[in-house]
Amino acid sequence: MKLNKNVAVSESGLLFNPVTGESFSVNPIGIEILNLIRDEKPEEEIAEAIMAKYNTDKPTFEKDYQDFIGILSHNNLVESHEKTKA
Protein backbone atom coordinates (compact mmCIF):
# COMPACT_ATOMS: atom_id res chain seq x y z
CA MET A 1 0.00 0.00 0.00
CA LYS A 2 1.44 3.36 -1.00
CA LEU A 3 0.17 6.88 -0.56
CA ASN A 4 -0.10 8.58 -3.93
CA LYS A 5 2.87 10.83 -4.48
CA ASN A 6 2.26 14.50 -3.81
CA VAL A 7 -0.52 13.81 -1.30
CA ALA A 8 0.35 16.08 1.60
CA VAL A 9 -0.36 14.98 5.18
CA SER A 10 -0.12 17.62 7.87
CA GLU A 11 0.84 16.83 11.47
CA SER A 12 -2.70 17.59 12.56
CA GLY A 13 -4.18 15.12 10.08
CA LEU A 14 -5.25 17.18 7.09
CA LEU A 15 -4.74 15.43 3.78
CA PHE A 16 -4.52 17.50 0.62
CA ASN A 17 -4.69 16.01 -2.85
CA PRO A 18 -2.94 18.58 -5.08
CA VAL A 19 -4.38 17.09 -8.28
CA THR A 20 -8.02 17.42 -7.31
CA GLY A 21 -7.74 20.19 -4.72
CA GLU A 22 -9.67 18.11 -2.20
CA SER A 23 -8.89 18.17 1.52
CA PHE A 24 -9.74 15.50 4.11
CA SER A 25 -9.27 15.30 7.84
CA VAL A 26 -8.41 12.09 9.69
CA ASN A 27 -8.40 11.33 13.42
CA PRO A 28 -5.23 10.69 15.47
CA ILE A 29 -5.21 6.91 14.86
CA GLY A 30 -5.71 7.66 11.16
CA ILE A 31 -2.60 9.86 11.21
CA GLU A 32 -0.61 7.08 12.88
CA ILE A 33 -1.70 4.58 10.23
CA LEU A 34 -0.99 7.06 7.43
CA ASN A 35 2.50 7.66 8.78
CA LEU A 36 3.12 3.90 8.85
CA ILE A 37 1.80 3.59 5.28
CA ARG A 38 4.06 6.45 4.23
CA ASP A 39 6.99 4.56 5.77
CA GLU A 40 5.93 1.65 3.53
CA LYS A 41 5.26 -0.70 6.45
CA PRO A 42 3.37 -3.89 5.51
CA GLU A 43 -0.15 -4.37 6.85
CA GLU A 44 1.08 -6.97 9.35
CA GLU A 45 3.49 -4.51 10.93
CA ILE A 46 0.86 -1.78 11.01
CA ALA A 47 -1.53 -4.19 12.75
CA GLU A 48 1.10 -5.06 15.37
CA ALA A 49 1.88 -1.40 16.04
CA ILE A 50 -1.75 -0.43 16.46
CA MET A 51 -2.69 -3.47 18.54
CA ALA A 52 0.29 -2.90 20.82
CA LYS A 53 -0.82 0.62 21.52
CA TYR A 54 -4.63 0.33 21.56
CA ASN A 55 -7.03 -2.09 23.11
CA THR A 56 -8.25 -3.90 19.99
CA ASP A 57 -8.11 -7.35 18.45
CA LYS A 58 -6.94 -8.51 15.04
CA PRO A 59 -10.36 -9.01 13.38
CA THR A 60 -11.54 -5.56 14.51
CA PHE A 61 -8.32 -3.93 13.32
CA GLU A 62 -8.48 -5.68 9.95
CA LYS A 63 -12.07 -4.61 9.35
CA ASP A 64 -11.39 -0.98 10.33
CA TYR A 65 -8.13 -0.95 8.37
CA GLN A 66 -9.79 -2.21 5.19
CA ASP A 67 -12.59 0.36 5.62
CA PHE A 68 -9.99 3.11 6.02
CA ILE A 69 -7.97 1.96 3.01
CA GLY A 70 -11.20 1.73 1.01
CA ILE A 71 -11.99 5.37 1.76
CA LEU A 72 -8.43 6.46 0.91
CA SER A 73 -8.59 4.48 -2.34
CA HIS A 74 -12.03 5.82 -3.25
CA ASN A 75 -10.62 9.34 -2.96
CA ASN A 76 -7.50 8.53 -5.01
CA LEU A 77 -5.18 9.09 -2.07
CA VAL A 78 -3.51 5.67 -2.30
CA GLU A 79 -2.65 3.39 -5.16
CA SER A 80 -5.59 1.12 -5.98
CA HIS A 81 -5.91 -2.34 -4.39
CA GLU A 82 -5.39 -4.02 -7.77
CA LYS A 83 -2.20 -2.09 -8.38
CA THR A 84 -0.89 -2.88 -4.93
CA LYS A 85 -1.63 -6.59 -5.26
CA ALA A 86 0.01 -6.76 -8.68
- Which residues make up the interface to other proteins (CB under 8 A)? 6, 8, 16, 18-23
Give me the helices (H) in 1-86, please. 28-38, 43-53, 58-74, 81-85
Shortest separation between residue 5's beta carbon and other proteins, angstroms: 11
Q: Tell me whether residue 22 or residue 62 sits nearer to other proteins (CB atom).
A: 22
Shortest separation between residue 28's beta carbon and other proteins, angstroms: 23
Q: Tell me whether residue 14 or residue 56 sits nearer to other proteins (CB atom).
A: 14
Q: How far apart are alpha carbons 74 and 64 in whole angstroms?
A: 15
Beta pairing class for 8-9 and 14-17: antiparallel
